[in-house]
Amino acid sequence: MIYKSCPAKIFLSFIVKEEDNTRPATASMNYAKPDMPFPKGMDIINLNYQGEGIRDAPAYAHLRGIRTSPLYPAFHEKFPDKLIVSSETASALSTRGTYVFPVTGEISAPVSDSTGGDPQNKYVSAYELYTAQFGASPDKVFASQDQHPFVAGEFVWSGFDYLGEPTPYYTARSSYSGIVDLAGFKKDRFYLYQSRWRPDYKMAHILPHWNWPERVGQVTPVHVFTSGDEAELFLNGTSLGSKKKQQYEYRLRWDDVKYVPGELKVIAYKNGKVWAQDIVKTTNEASQLSISADRKLIKADGTDLSFITVKVMDRNGLVVPTANSKVSFEIEGPGEIIATDNGDPANMVSFASKEREAYSGLVLAIVRSQRGKAGTIKISASSGKLKTGTIQILAK
């Protein structure tokens, strides 16, 4: 079949339909506008970043490059009968458990060496407000979608950190855009999405951690992610006031809190009733390693895996959020440690290493069974004077 005077992109759509006409054709659009030929050939409109707008918020005004207001309404007006989906949103950036001060007062801001970024350690602030230059925070994305309810939904860039594209620090090994880090540990952003995507799940999450001996008396903002609609924050038992989510707000902010060690507690409410709570405490020094496995029974087929998490903890069993203790792994029995990691995008130690520094208090080891060899596998994690952690898993 030949299509005369047909734009190349629409022609590709025809080719797809010749092969399988039971499915809609689409393509992710980074730059195409409603009046261009490209989207005419799409059965579904897939937008990358343009739905929430690109470089259109105040904090992005100084940047060069494409500047686009949210295009959801323009595409909807041009193609009222076509489904609209955001095929890539956000490109927010952060490193797990690391916070950079001061904190922007905007709901979304580009990371740089002077705001949100720490070029020496290659951190990006885990307040979850900072983005790639073309990106947007989850808060900004959510607001745009809620203002345009005809949008079907979003795919976030990205679910996990991944090797490559190490924006903004190009000498790092991995991306910074994941909701979950490269080791599979949840960033604070995980809980912001959880509060959005699971509105009936009772949860509240405080950030940052509360181990700041160098910041006594200094402003250290406290943010709360919750599926509730209101919350009250307490510092060492004293109320710092209640806040209620306003329209197009997705976090609660106490931006003038001055740090003193102790306990932060938040009580979240929904429709006037207690909904959930969270507590963050200042810890003592690290004294022990806690070890756990996602699966304690694996198949003895040479491919099955168990993911082992080690937490650096104080004497009270609290994770020490600033701990970077070097952890050494040993294994006995019919298994092998095939990789370790800690989620630090700037860490260049080989995945095959049996030693790994903790990052924000956590380390991961991956254990694989040996083909045809059943039995008990014992894994030990040690670090200097810290109490060793051990666990057994069974290959069957």
pLDDT tens-digit series, residues 203-247: 999 999 999 999 999 999 999 999 999 999 999 999 999 999 999
Mind listing the pLDDT tens digit for each residue in 311-365?
A: 999 999 999 999 999 999 999 999 999 999 999 999 999 999 999 999 999 999 9
Average pLDDT, the chain: 95
Provide the CATH topology of domain 288-395: Immunoglobulin-like (2.60.40)
Residue range(s) occupied by CATH 2.60.40.10 in the chain:
198-281, 288-395
Residue range(s) occupied by CATH 3.20.20.80 in the chain:
8-196
pLDDT at 31: 87
Residue 32 — very low, low, confident or very high, per pLDDT cuts 50/70/90? confident
pLDDT over threshold 50, residue 304: yes
Crossing angle (nearest 10°) for helices 188-197 and 138-147: 20
pTM of the model: 0.94
158 cis-preceded (ω within 30 degrees of 0): yes
Structural domain 198-281, CATH architecture: Sandwich (2.60)
Residue 13 — very low, low, confident or very high, per pLDDT cuts 50/70/90? confident
pLDDT at 5: 47
Mind listing the pLDDT tens digit for each residue in 76-130?
A: 999 999 999 999 999 999 999 999 999 999 999 999 999 999 999 999 999 999 9
pLDDT at 10: 62
Please name which of 328, 336, 327 lies closest in space to residue 298, comparing C-alpha atoms. 336
**CATH code matching the domain that covers 8-196, chosen among 3.40.1410.10, 3.20.20.80, 3.30.1240.10, 3.40.720.10:** 3.20.20.80
Contact yes or no for 7/41 (Cβ under 8 A): yes
What does each C-alpha distance from 196 to 112, 180, 189 come to in angstroms? 27, 16, 11
| CB-CB neighbours of 347 under 10 Å | 17
